[in-house]
Structure 1
Amino acid sequence: MAELKTQQNDANVKDFIHEFANSEQKIADSLLLLELFEKITSYKPKMWGDSIIGFGKYHYKSERSTQKGDWPLVGFSPRKTAISLYVYSSGAGQDQLIEKLGKFKMGKGCIYVKKLSDIDQKVLEEIILSTVDFLQNKYGKI
């Protein structure tokens, strides 16, 4: 089985934000998200691969294949077109929270926002907490 490319590493998170984010707005929003995620999860930010900032981790095993590995509980990335928020687990109550989040687009496993002011940060906090709870209940705490 091939090893996952996206692994936790020791790259500097703030350096990454300043080098990777393509606007002052995205840098400011990313630094705010950094504080928000750390405050909510109590986990220190870690780089995962070249472009994901993750908080905490869990060990998963796919139910449909032999794939397994570690992945951040929650995280984000200041991508070129939008900030990707890796916070959605489809856990209980999350669909109702998503309806109150604000202006965003939804991907398969993440939420895309142009700027942080487009969404309700209190609702984001609830989504982050519910995802951490869901994943730790399903996979256990590491």
Structure 2
Amino acid sequence: MMAEAAKTLPTDADVGAFLAAVEPARRREEAQAIAALLEQIAGCPPVLWGTSIIGYGQYSYTYKSGRTGIWPRLGFSPRKAQHVLYLIDGFDGQADLLAQLGKAATGVSCLYVKKLADIDMAVLAEMARRSWAMMAERYPA
């Protein structure tokens, strides 16, 4: 049996144009703010993965099943109901920072934020920095 190929891969699409098309205006402005923050932390330009994920850097992984793939080291998706930020799970101080962040929900390696006004952006920045650092340690380039 062949391992299934990853469906979400980096594209050559224009990230600025993608962000400019996000609706409504508040979600677009917030997405642009998140994009700028993550680009500053990552120190590399954003890439559109699939049709809706903005990623920074990338790493390769291999599951025990043998399935391999690539994924952004840090990323987010400005979805209709909320922004989804992709941060590695288990970075140093994660629980404490999450407690300070404000109104957000979590899933495995996902942080869900409805409005940036509901969270502390400095705490989000620190979470992203620690996630980026852990990814660099766990998956050296």
- Coarse TM-score class (shorter-chain normalised): over 0.9
Percent of aligned pairs sharing the same letter: 37
Q: Identify the residue that residue 111 of structure 2 maps to in structure 1.
A: 111
The TM-score normalised by the length of structure 1 is: 0.92
Post-superposition Cα deviations, 1:92-125, rounded to whole Å, max 9, x if no partner, equal 2111111111111112221111111111111111
Q: Identify the residue that residue 38 of structure 2 maps to in structure 1.
A: 37
Residues 1:82 and 1:106: Cα distance change in structure 2 (over 3 Å)? same
Tell me the CA shift for residue 80 of structure 1.
1.1
Tell me the CA shift for residue 22 of structure 1.
2.6
How large is the Cα RMSD of the aligned pairs?
1.2
Q: Identify the residue that residue 95 of structure 1 maps to in structure 2.
A: 95
Q: Identify the residue that residue 16 of structure 2 maps to in structure 1.
A: 14
Confirm or deny: 8 A CA contact 2:12 2:47 kept in the other structure.
Answer: yes
Confirm or deny: 8 A CA contact 2:89 2:108 kept in the other structure.
Answer: no
Aligned residues: 139
Take 1:67 and 1:93, find their aligned partners in 2: how far apart are those partners? 30
Equivalent position SS for 1:100: helix
Confirm or deny: 8 A CA contact 2:62 2:68 kept in the other structure.
Answer: yes
Q: Identify the residue that residue 130 of structure 2 maps to in structure 1.
A: 130
Point out where structure 2 has 5 or more consecutive residues left out of the alignment: none
Q: Aligned letter for 2:14?
A: N
Equivalent position SS for 1:76: strand
Take 1:103 and 1:4, find their aligned partners in 2: how far apart are those partners? 32
Take 2:93 and 2:57, find their aligned partners in 1: how far apart are those partners? 22
Q: Identify the residue that residue 50 of structure 1 maps to in structure 2.
A: 51
Moved over 3 A (4+): none
Point out where structure 1 has 5 or more consecutive residues left out of the alignment: none
Q: Identify the residue that residue 79 of structure 1 maps to in structure 2.
A: 79
